[in-house]
Structure 1
Amino acid sequence: MPEIPGFWDIGPHDPLPVEATWTDFITSAGGKRVSELLSKSPDFDNADYLFEDIGAVLELKEIETEFLRTEAAQCGFEALLARLVKEDPTWRPLLFGGDGQYPAWFSTEFVRLARPALLRVLKKANRQIRETKEFFRVKKPYGTLIFVNDGFTGMAPVLVHALACDALVHSYSSIDCFLYVTVNRYLEITGSNEPKLIWNPTYSDRATDEFVQFIDDLGRMWFSFLDQKIGPFTSRLETGDRSALSRSKAIILPHEDRSPRRVELR
């Protein structure tokens, strides 16, 4: 891969405004912004986009918050560390001369700290998609949550994805596709020296072949759109295979916070 000047210092391109960029893209792909289809302020919290020809309703959620930095999560994290030290008084993090290895239970408990905040995102998106489908009398199970994760880097992408998908199996039946995307946050993939932007859809068992093809085509149009937006360098990862996420981690640029409280669990 040719050297990209300044990549590891400032990133490959100036940050794109996520909502405005996605609105431009959806319009170029033949979709419409739902708010423009409503003649007045609706009495419901609508989703963002509608593809009338296929009957697909899409809601965009941009994750900018480090969920693990909330006060509740920090208190929970301190409790986990207290339990860890109580069980093993010799344990030390890598930063302070330890081996940095966590016991098996720690990963499960650590992931749970982010669950409430993530479930709030899923719950709201589910309601917006459901009520928009009802308003437009959309019958097909083609509800899509576009989950743009540029900000939540305190947990490996595969864990964020797994946490969301586990919740979607049991609840939130209006979300038929969970689309994990990055716009300004590049990922490092094991075995590749190219930082990647990702497009990773996961479907419910209600998804039809038509719907899957629609999302796949939309993904290819998205990367072509980005090529026009930021230049020919868009190293992409378009896959529905969770194993690709298991080999990835967010690239943290030098100017970003590298607090000792960051815990990398895969």
Structure 2
Amino acid sequence: MVRTLQPGQCCEVRTASVSGETSLVFHTEDMLVEAPNWTLDGRALILNGNGRLWRFELESGTLSEIPLSGAPDLNNDHVLDPDGTAIFLSGDDGHIYRAPLAGGEATRITDHDGSFHFLHGVSPDGRRLAYVDIPEGDFGRPGRLRTIPAGGGPTKSVEVGQGHCDGPEFSPDGTWLYLNTESFSTAPGHAQLARVRPDGSQFERLVDSATVDWFPHLSPDGRLASYVRFPAGTRGHPADLPVDVVLVSTSGWTAELHTWQVFGGQGTLNVNSWSPDSERFAYVAYPMAPATAESGMA
């Protein structure tokens, strides 16, 4: 389903540095864009909006569509192929695709197996994808963690309990999958951050909090992580809520380094948005009043 801005709402793409500063790099009242990926050359952000894929040039401040064929409307689950030339995409038809990052024909990876497939991670060697499987597209049923060869083929289940899980992402060294899961609580929707080995062993909780914590993203050097924190009692990862974007060290997930308050949620930080030098990451806010002009606004 293509998301749009509410009347009076705007969209702000921002970058946050590991030292705590933030910069507004793009502002629009015309289109809702989501879930930035940072390109491997550090020059651009890749976003989705209006069901299509877009490239935002950080130096020039220009936004242009990446022309794709063979894919349906896209949602905000997209990750770059480690080779830097392609991108993996989730379509609104419930399938995962691979397409050239410069534009071109998209190729479907997942089979018609009766489930919806929501991509979140690719292994560092580019050989395997991590995704969430929703049986029959029934969102009343918990998502299950699975992996699949990047070129398609037999899938593999990774056991992480009975609670709904989401956002599985490989660590930079490929030895862990990081995710959020409701398996540690009986409270409805109480997602917490966790990790598990790709073979399903060593499933462990990272943070024990009263809040609802989603989408852990590790920096390329593995030292830091960002995630989005929803208010206690939130179910799922809805839009248009006051949330926190949180930066932590992976050596101590409970000690927050920096926190940024954002009006957003869905679309803010769904995918890994770290810069290749591990010094910044990008996120999106959706305030209900136009942004104040400031340096760096495009």
In the superposition, the TM-score normalised over structure 2's length comes to: 0.25
Higher RCO, 1 or 2 (CA under 8 Å, sep at least 6)?
Answer: 1
Structure holding more helix per residue: 1
Normalised TM-score (structure 1): 0.27
Q: Which has the larger radius of gyration?
A: 1
